[in-house]
Amino acid sequence: MSDKDNDGDTRAVPGNRRARLGQFGRLAGGLAGGVMAEGARRLAEGKRPRLNELLLTPGNVGRVADRLSELRGAAMKLGQMVSMDAGDVLPPELAQIMARLRENAHSMPPKQLEAVLAKDWGNGWRREFKYFNPRPLAAASIGQVHRAKTRDGRDLAIKVQYPGVRESIDADVDNVATLLRVSGMLPRHLDIAPLLGEAKQQLHEEADYQREARQMRAYGELLAGESEYIVPGFHADLTTTNVLAMDFVPGRSIDTLEHEPQEVRDAMMERLVALVLRELFDFGLMQTDPNFANYRISDDGEKLVLLDFGAAREVSPHITESYRRLLAAGLAEDHEAIAEAAIAAGFLSRHTADAHRANLDRIIAVIVNELGKPGDFDFGDRSFVKTVREEGMAIAQDKAAWHLPPAEMLFAQRKISGTALLAARMKARIDIRSMVEAKLAGLPSR
């Protein structure tokens, strides 16, 4: 089977470790070529290039993005996390390139798809279906989704996992970590082993579609009877570790909200923010992947359709309490309490708070000022981000200040930050302060 099918959108997934390692080898070779070309150009201009600057050129970042997109699996998933979590921090040219990883991946060629389904459903699987569209509705990092209708009349969305993804998770994570190390993006003293271990565990969980089905059912029960949200039901008879069968829910991309009136955008984003607050403080369960493709708008434009529960995780009491303290300090506009709550939560190290207090105070001041304004918070107004970025970059010059929060905190914050990015894209205006005040007031005292 060739790498590419006749359809330019399809590309076979490297199905074993040797093939995937070869892809990483070709990526390393491409990066080396890019470094040499860029280094020669800068030397010709009389400049003295630094290695990390040569590695992080738009050309090399593009090579990384394209290769991770071809690999799919954990490699692409980690790239998506970096591109999403970077938010406004990446330079625009790099952010644009990394955004490729948030778009649909290449899909499997039909022969590879057929082989995967035959392995899990048996060779006669097509007899169970009146219709199965071989062209996917969507292709992402771990699997692709197909529309199908069974002979007994069920209208389904079938998620099929790419071959070799589960077996390659640990090696992919280690290879991506090596790329980050070599690029100079991570200081040598920073211990990322605990985070890598958590990333591997979460990715193994996401690759278990039986587990995702259970999480989908849990969300369905939590939101049962509510008219504002739709959680698809799953079909146990067709669900395996590699194939997830769920209700097909008609709808449209959440991106289409950009063209709706302000009040429509505001209402839908308020609904999403309210859900995140409930996940954090009420449910004890959070879907931690904020990829925009995980949300859709129902055909009637009234409901938020929730998809992809592979990244759903329990929210520990420690996480809930950490955010309660941080938000309470923010509402009180107590700068000292905000800094202490951020240290206690693990967002900051004591060294950073002590050595860079002036920078930290300016970051806190601008955020408190924005969130403390009466009325709606305008997510579309990003003017304050420049100050946060500049002060953050000043702190980042001190590599001793580089600090990784606990992994469970990172996963929760990723959902919160990703939700804020989506609200910014929609230019939503929401009375966040009132929502947070109401939620904290409803918590039992501790």
Catalytic residues: 289
Structure tokens at 402: 């580089």
The radius of gyration of the chain's CA atoms, rounded to the nearest angstrom, is 23
Residue 323 to residue 163: CA distance in whole angstroms: 39
Contacts of residue 330, Cβ cutoff 8 Å, sequence gap at least 6: 338, 367, 368, 371
Task: Give yes or no for a contact between 159 and 168, defined as CB atoms under 8 angstroms apart.
Answer: no
Contacts of residue 74, Cβ cutoff 8 Å, sequence gap at least 6: 141, 165, 168, 169, 172, 173, 176, 199, 200, 203
Residue 301's φ and ψ, nearest 5 degrees, are 75, 10
Task: Give yes or no for a contact between 352 and 401, defined as CB atoms under 8 angstroms apart.
Answer: yes
316: left (phi over 0), alpha (psi -120 to 50) or beta: beta
Closest CA to 298 of 246, 231, 249: 249
Where does residue 217 rank: exposed (0-12), middle (13-18), buried (19+ CB within 10 A)? middle
E-assigned strands of 307-404?
A: 312-314, 377-378
Structure tokens at 78: 């980690």
Structure tokens at 178: 């090596």
Closest CA to 84 of 294, 265, 369: 294
Closest CA to 395 of 367, 421, 364, 368: 364
Residue 295 to residue 40: CA distance in whole angstroms: 46
Structure tokens at 135: 């062209």
Residue 116 to residue 163: CA distance in whole angstroms: 7
Run of H or E including 203: helix 193-206
Task: Give yes or no for a contact between 292 and 422, defined as CB atoms under 8 angstroms apart.
Answer: yes
- Please list the residues that pair with 420 across neighbouring strands: none
To the nearest 5 percent, what fractions of the chain are helix, strand and coil? 60, 10, 30
Task: Give yes or no for a contact between 328 and 160, defined as CB atoms under 8 angstroms apart.
Answer: no
Closest CA to 353 of 427, 281, 397, 403: 403
